[in-house]
Structure 1
Amino acid sequence: MALLRTRRSKFTALCLLAVAAGTIAYICLVVPRAQFLAPAPTPILYDRNGAFLAQVGHSDDGSGRIDYGYWPLEDLPDRFVKATLALEDKRFFSHAGVDPYAVGRAAWQNLSAVRRRSGASTIAMQVARMQQPEARTFVHKILEAGAGIALTLRYGHHAVLAQYLRLAPYGNGSHGIAHATRFYFGKPVTDLSWAEIALLSAIPQSPTRMNPLRPDGLRRAVQRGHQVLDVLQAQKIIRTDEAEIAHRQLNELRMPDLPRRPDALHVILRYHDLIETGRIKPAAANTPLIHTTIDLSLQRDVTALSRRFLDSWRSAGALQVAAMVVSRETGEVLAQVGSSNYYGRHAGSFDYTQIQRSPGSTLKPFVYALALERGILKPTDMLLDLPEGASGIGDADREFLGPMLPRQALANSRNVPATNLLRSIGLETTFHFLRDLGLHDLEIPADHFGLSMAIGSLPTRLDSLMRAYRALANDGQLQDLRWASEQPQQPSVRAVSLDTARLITSFLSDPQARLPSFHRYGSLEYPFPVAIKTGTSQGYRDAWAIAYSQKVVVGVWVGRGDNGTMNRMTGASSAAHLVHAIMDRVHESKPGDLADARFPTPPDRKPVDLCIVNGAANDNTCSQTLVEWLKPNEMPELTAKVPHLDTGAGTTPATAGAGARAASASLSTGRDDGGPQIHLAISTPARNSQIWRNPEQPAAYNRLALKAEVKPRVPQIVWYVDGQPFAVTDPDRPVFWPIQSGEHRFQIRLPYRDETSAVIPVYVQ
């Protein structure tokens, strides 16, 4: 007997030890589950008019599914809580995480093989399962039960219920009731009707079978929603009349179309990056709604225009396009097209608004602005577009236009004047100025780029150019582009003076100043004020156009993802046409429209007619003039000035004159010190010609051809009309003078030399 008792005691002890060990193991498995876990709330993006733009969700473990939602609840929505508990766990507040009655009922039904079985999972147990999904086995059920009790004891019933309403699946990737109501109905949960509550509370039981965006799923969800309403009525949560109205509304409920992501994946990915890096933060963490600056209607139109224009350029080798539209006043990004098609061929997945490319001539306005800021350049200075001092740099047309006003030199996008200005300013100074504008972030020496920095060797991005050009459009104030109302806005900084910004704007918006490089009424001219600059990189790899009006800044890049060359695709012949179409769309302009408006003029400046060759004030004898805005101390004399060359930093009038004389020597085959004399003669028109002007003929055809005879040949001559310089040209090429009534005198001279032709009088009636 003693031995038997001893064996029984040992067995009992072993059993107790086994139970204790099992209990400890069970506790060890349950304790880690006894904490709230939830993914971060995912934002919903709306366009500037409140239309759905996109969601930024969480990718799962590789299955390809993306989950959304998980919005926490500040307050439990009373009506939805009652509907949820009536359906899922009506004794929720009377048990500690496991419902003994439900467990017993489920066990009886399982043992008795009742066909319709009910589960025993409580709200707390479902929270445990949603936080750590596992196979639906008996062991895992036991662990979920323990975790449900632990969660309830640790956090309390209200917190567990709030966690359930944050995690519960409502179909189509939506989790949590706060997100689901926004996703399906576009409103907060507190604004739901009883019919909408019944429908949504039915979905978590089987989100796939009851997908409300599919006809069969909606039918099942409605059927279960009627059961929810019946339970609510039976429990006297809603009155009979309320239940009747809800049943009727539930039968008539039509779900809105599934919000679809627009064809704007690049801009959505940019928002994802802005959110991930913290540059955009929702105003309310519990309701992460992002109100973007994008105008979806404009976005669609800009995308369609970009694709249509690109299709017409493919034969010339263009394979990609990027475009941006930014509000001039606020800096808000209204549209962005990163490529022709994200999923298309030719490296469409790259966002070309953020890729560094050669900017061509689009940096020239900032070189001129810096020269004006530092007093190196005045609007009346004459810049020489000549081979001398060009450092091997030429223009796409392989010609030189001679002396030019700064307005003409920039509007014609001449390379030699820009590089000479860069030389005068200094490479390092210009390099740092462009970095301050955000056009690059390089830390290498400026010598790496040299003078070609002014014409495209310094790489930059389209979005950086948009920011910098907006500073010109915004009277010199530089500010980051704005992507959402929730984006913290840094104060603007002054990049250039208001005077300089408006002067550069007047240069870029003057169609007359673009002659002869860009003809009138082409892609650069608008029926309303627009400042525009084009750019073409070496080898026709990149074509650019950046323009701004009183409303918007528009930028376009055209090129190839493989950095290959295109067939003579320039900014003016390609990108500028797309910019024009986008501008017309924004301004809603129609053919024949003409706005009587202009950009604000530079303060403290007065308009003055300047002769385009020598920069002198017009004395009513100069046949070609431009209006320039001058300060009182910049007013020129009526006598002509000698153009100067920017030969380097510290150039003085004396050294400029010396440079000009050196240039004159290079233009002539003779010398001032006794070299051969140059014979100059006018072959057309003949002396004392009588010319009749046809008043009904278009002005473009009322022209007189001027032809010269020069021996020996020289590179360039200057045509004078009525004593004023009219054109600098190759002597073998005719010049066309717009016919004007009256008596006129024509003469040829050599630049900076004494040789002249005889004066040829002509009479025009």
Structure 2
Amino acid sequence: MSLLRTRRATLTLAFWHLFAACVLLYAHLINQRAQLIAPAPTPILYDRSGAFLTQVGHDDDGRGRVDYGYWPLEQLPDRVVRATLALEDRRFFDHAGVDPYAIARAVWQNFGNARRRSGASTIAMQVARMQRPEPRTWPNKLLEAGTGVVLTLRYGHEAVLAQYLRLAPYGNGSHGIAHAARLYFDKPVADLSWAEIALLSAIPQSPTLMNPLRPDGLRRAIQRGHRVLDILREQKVISADEAAIAHNQLKTLRMPSLPRRPDALQLVLRYRDLVRDGAIAPEAETAPLIHTTIDLSLQTDVTNLARQYLDGWRGAGAQQVAVMVVSRQTGEVLAQVGSGGYYAGHAGAFDYTRTQRSPGSTLKPFIYALALDRDVLKPTDMLLDLPEGASGIGNADREFLGPMLPRQALANSRNVPATNLLRSVGLETTFHFLRDLGLHDLETPADSFGLSMAIGSLPTRLDWLVRAYGALANDGQLQDLAWAREQRRRPPVRVLSIDSARLVTSFLSDAQARLPSFHRYGTLEYPFPVAIKTGTSQGYRDAWAVAYSDKAIVGVWIGRGDDGTMNRLTGASSAARLVHAILVRIHGIKPGDIAEARFPPPPGRKPVEVCLTSGQVDAGACSQTLVEWVRPDEMPKAVPASLRPGADAVPAPIKAIATGSASLPRPDVDGDGQPIRLSISTPARNTQIWRNPEQPAAFNRLALKAVVEPRVAQIVWYVDGQPFAVAAPDQPVFWPIEPGEHRFQIRLPYRDEASAVVPVYVQ
């Protein structure tokens, strides 16, 4: 007997230990669940006119579904509360999270002979289940019951009810009564009628069966809504007259169509990123509405134009297009096209407004503006477009136009003057200035790009480019692009003087200065003032155009997702055409219209007729002139009337260089027995050269120049450690460009003197 008693005592003790362990585990699991947790509210975005754009939802645990809503309530809406409790939990304020009467009723109806069955889940238990969905098993039911009790005791009835009205599913991905009211009826929850409240209150019981956007679902929801109204009348929440009106409204209730997201998925994804990164935040958490700057009407027109023009260029190898339209005055983004179509193939899922590509010549205006700001350049200076000193860089047309005014050099997009100007301003200075403009975010040395930075070696993005052009358009003030009224923007910063910005604007808007590279009355000319710059990258991989008028800044990129080449598709022949069509649409110009307007001139400057061949004021002797804006202290001399137009008007130094007759001074010493200084003037150290494989071999060569003091009879050029040519010190030597890294040096014949090694990189 004693052994039996011992075993019973042991089993009893084990049972109580097990029971205690179960209770502790149950308490632990409940404590983990008994927190009021909800996803962040999901904002609804509208365009600048109030039309629906999109809403930024939540991915639902990787199940391929996106949920929306979860808007908190600033205060409990009394009518919604009464309708919800009438259906879901009539004794909500009389129990502590579990309703014993409802449990007894459910047991009787579910296991007895009652025809009608019901559940026993209270509002608090439903909150527990919505916060942590799990299979509907008895153990999980017990966990929900315990969690409901602790939630009620810990937070109170009103907080639990507010959480239910924030989490409850209302169909079609919508959660929470506030979001559902906005989604289905486009109104705040406080403005819902009794009929609309009854309908929405019916949905959470089964959002799929009572989907109000389906005829059968709407019919079921209306039937249950009538029941809600009857209960409310019985409870004397509403009068008989109010109930009758609500019943009639409910019978004839027709659901409006859900707002549809426009065909602009890349734009929607950009807004999603801006919201998730915190760049745009709703002003109110209880009604997270975001008012974007997008003009959906313009967005639709720009999208159609972009696809239409892209189709016309597909035969030349173009596969993708990107467009940005920004208000000039405010910097607000009015339209964005990220590709030819998200699902259209050819890497259409990429957003090419955010993809870094070679910008071609579109960075040149900033080099000119910086040079003007640093007093390295004056509008009447003469820039040389000559093969000598070009560091292997040629022009797109494979020709050289000789001495040019800065206005002409930029308007004609000449490569050689731009690279020489970049050398004068300095690689590091220009590199950092372009970074300050937001055109890149690189920390690499400027030498890694070399002089080719002026013609496309420094990658950038379309949105960065459009923002930087905004500084030129707005008198040197750089401001962030605005995407929404609720966006936090930094104050504008001055990056250029008004003088430089307006001078460059006048260069880019001067149709006469574009001759001879760009013919008159083409896509670069407008019946209203427009400053425009085009760009084409190496091998015709990218075609660009950026333009601004008094209303808008428009940027266009044409290219391929695989970075392949196109068939001679340039920025002027493609992207500029699309820019032209967009600006004409924005300005509403009709054929034959001409606007009597112009860009404001630089302050303190006067218009002067300047001779193209000399940069001097015309006194009637020049056959070719341009109007230039000149400060009184920079006023150039007038060309004497006795000089005839033509070559005689060209200054002697320029004429000598252009004809090749100029040379370095030759001291009357032979160098014997004296220390001789040898240096390479061209190419510059760490120059990066882009070789065009489509260019004839005669043009793919690099001029090598030396500086030798004092003079000697001959020097030997070494390339990659091997003798290449013997020449006089002042005689240029031309080396056929080959891809790779190369090292140049000059030495004296039969002597030890040698220059420093100059590395050059050819791509």
Shorter-normalised TM-score: what interval? 0.7 to 0.9
Kept in 2: contact 1:411–1:514 (CA 8 A): yes
> CA, structure 1 residues 554+664, in 2 after alignment: closer, same or farther (shift >3 Å)?
closer
Counterpart amino acid of residue 72 in structure 1: P
Counterpart amino acid of residue 615 in structure 1: G
What is aligned with 1:449? Answer: 449
What is aligned with 1:43? Answer: 43
Measured in 1, the distance between the counterparts of 2:281 and 2:370 equals 36
Counterpart amino acid of residue 33 in structure 1: R
What is aligned with 2:343? Answer: 343
Counterpart amino acid of residue 571 in structure 2: G
Counterpart amino acid of residue 81 in structure 1: V
Measured in 2, the distance between the counterparts of 1:445 and 1:154 equals 60
The reply on whether 1:128 has 2:128 as its aligned counterpart is yes
Measured in 1, the distance between the counterparts of 2:287 and 2:180 equals 12
Measured in 1, the distance between the counterparts of 2:598 and 2:378 equals 22
What is aligned with 1:584? Answer: 584
CA offsets 1:341-368 (integer angstroms, 9 cap, x no match): 1122111111111111111110110011
Please, what TM-score do these two structures have when normalized by structure 2? 0.83
Measured in 1, the distance between the counterparts of 2:429 and 2:9 equals 94
Measured in 1, the distance between the counterparts of 2:632 and 2:601 equals 15
> CA, structure 1 residues 603+203, in 2 after alignment: closer, same or farther (shift >3 Å)?
same
User: What is the DSSP-based 3-state SS (H/G/I as helix, E as strand, rest coil) of the residue aligned with 1:323?
Assistant: strand
Measured in 1, the distance between the counterparts of 2:510 and 2:288 equals 47
What is aligned with 1:559? Answer: 559
What is aligned with 1:275? Answer: 275
Kept in 1: contact 2:73–2:166 (CA 8 A): yes
User: What is the DSSP-based 3-state SS (H/G/I as helix, E as strand, rest coil) of the residue aligned with 2:201?
Assistant: helix
What is aligned with 1:138? Answer: 138
Measured in 1, the distance between the counterparts of 2:358 and 2:437 equals 17
Gapped regions of structure 2 (runs ≥ 5): 642-649, 664-763
The reply on whether 1:379 has 2:352 as its aligned counterpart is no
Displacement of 1:103: 0.8
What is aligned with 2:657? Answer: 663
> CA, structure 1 residues 667+508, in 2 after alignment: closer, same or farther (shift >3 Å)?
farther
Counterpart amino acid of residue 592 in structure 2: G
Kept in 2: contact 1:616–1:640 (CA 8 A): no
Measured in 2, the distance between the counterparts of 1:385 and 1:25 equals 84
Displacement of 1:622: 3.0
Displacement of 1:289: 1.8
CA offsets 1:522-549 (integer angstroms, 9 cap, x no match): 1101111110000001111100000001
Counterpart amino acid of residue 666 in structure 1: G
Displacement of 1:640: 6.2
Displacement of 1:288: 2.0
Kept in 2: contact 1:449–1:458 (CA 8 A): yes
CA offsets 1:35-84 (integer angstroms, 9 cap, x no match): 11212222211111111111111112222111111111121111101110
CA offsets 1:689-708 (integer angstroms, 9 cap, x no match): xxxxxxxxxxxxxxxxxxxx
What is aligned with 2:525? Answer: 525
Displacement of 1:12: 6.7
Counterpart amino acid of residue 57 in structure 1: G
Displacement of 1:7: 8.8
Measured in 2, the distance between the counterparts of 1:412 and 1:667 equals 27
Displacement of 1:116: 1.8
> CA, structure 1 residues 185+518, in 2 after alignment: closer, same or farther (shift >3 Å)?
same
User: What is the DSSP-based 3-state SS (H/G/I as helix, E as strand, rest coil) of the residue aligned with 2:429?
Assistant: helix
What is aligned with 2:693? Answer: none
User: What is the DSSP-based 3-state SS (H/G/I as helix, E as strand, rest coil) of the residue aligned with 2:396?
Assistant: coil
User: What is the DSSP-based 3-state SS (H/G/I as helix, E as strand, rest coil) of the residue aligned with 1:507?
Assistant: helix
Kept in 2: contact 1:130–1:167 (CA 8 A): yes
User: What is the DSSP-based 3-state SS (H/G/I as helix, E as strand, rest coil) of the residue aligned with 1:360?
Assistant: coil
Aligned pairs for 1:501-650 (under 5 A) are 501-639=501-639
**Identical positions, percent:** 74
Counterpart amino acid of residue 148 in structure 1: G
Measured in 2, the distance between the counterparts of 1:408 and 1:640 equals 23
Measured in 2, the distance between the counterparts of 1:403 and 1:3 equals 118
CA offsets 1:206-247 (integer angstroms, 9 cap, x no match): 101111122221121112111111111111111122112212
Counterpart amino acid of residue 297 in structure 2: S
Aligned pairs for 1:106-121 (under 5 A) are 106-121=106-121
What is aligned with 1:23? Answer: 23
Displacement of 1:201: 0.6
Q: How many residue pairs align between the two structures?
A: 655
What is aligned with 1:311? Answer: 311
What is aligned with 1:679? Answer: none
Displacement of 1:560: 0.6
Displacement of 1:101: 1.1
> CA, structure 1 residues 370+7, in 2 after alignment: closer, same or farther (shift >3 Å)?
closer
Kept in 1: contact 2:621–2:639 (CA 8 A): no
Measured in 1, the distance between the counterparts of 2:239 and 2:605 equals 78
> CA, structure 1 residues 190+16, in 2 after alignment: closer, same or farther (shift >3 Å)?
same
> CA, structure 1 residues 13+355, in 2 after alignment: closer, same or farther (shift >3 Å)?
closer
> CA, structure 1 residues 14+404, in 2 after alignment: closer, same or farther (shift >3 Å)?
closer
Measured in 1, the distance between the counterparts of 2:18 and 2:437 equals 74
Measured in 2, the distance between the counterparts of 1:484 and 1:49 equals 12
Measured in 2, the distance between the counterparts of 1:203 and 1:452 equals 65
What is aligned with 1:257? Answer: 257
Displacement of 1:661: 5.4
Measured in 1, the distance between the counterparts of 2:546 and 2:16 equals 83
User: What is the DSSP-based 3-state SS (H/G/I as helix, E as strand, rest coil) of the residue aligned with 2:604?
Assistant: coil
> CA, structure 1 residues 5+610, in 2 after alignment: closer, same or farther (shift >3 Å)?
closer
Displacement of 1:260: 1.6
What is aligned with 1:159? Answer: 159
Counterpart amino acid of residue 50 in structure 2: G
Measured in 1, the distance between the counterparts of 2:658 and 2:310 equals 46
What is aligned with 2:402? Answer: 402
Kept in 1: contact 2:656–2:662 (CA 8 A): no
Q: Is the deviation greater in 62-71 or in 360-369?
A: 62-71
Counterpart amino acid of residue 548 in structure 2: Y
User: What is the DSSP-based 3-state SS (H/G/I as helix, E as strand, rest coil) of the residue aligned with 1:362?
Assistant: coil
What is aligned with 2:727? Answer: none
Kept in 1: contact 2:367–2:430 (CA 8 A): yes
The reply on whether 1:201 has 2:191 as its aligned counterpart is no
Measured in 2, the distance between the counterparts of 1:393 and 1:571 equals 19
CA offsets 1:393-413 (integer angstroms, 9 cap, x no match): 221211122222111111111
What is aligned with 1:243? Answer: 243
User: What is the DSSP-based 3-state SS (H/G/I as helix, E as strand, rest coil) of the residue aligned with 2:361?
Assistant: helix
Measured in 2, the distance between the counterparts of 1:373 and 1:28 equals 70
> CA, structure 1 residues 362+640, in 2 after alignment: closer, same or farther (shift >3 Å)?
farther
What is aligned with 2:751? Answer: none
User: What is the DSSP-based 3-state SS (H/G/I as helix, E as strand, rest coil) of the residue aligned with 1:628?
Assistant: strand
Counterpart amino acid of residue 341 in structure 1: G
The reply on whether 1:353 has 2:353 as its aligned counterpart is yes
User: What is the DSSP-based 3-state SS (H/G/I as helix, E as strand, rest coil) of the residue aligned with 2:107?
Assistant: helix
Counterpart amino acid of residue 452 in structure 1: S
Q: Is the deviation greater in 92-101 or in 243-252?
A: 243-252
> CA, structure 1 residues 12+535, in 2 after alignment: closer, same or farther (shift >3 Å)?
closer
The reply on whether 1:425 has 2:425 as its aligned counterpart is yes
Measured in 1, the distance between the counterparts of 2:134 and 2:65 equals 18
Q: Is the deviation greater in 469-478 or in 95-104?
A: 95-104
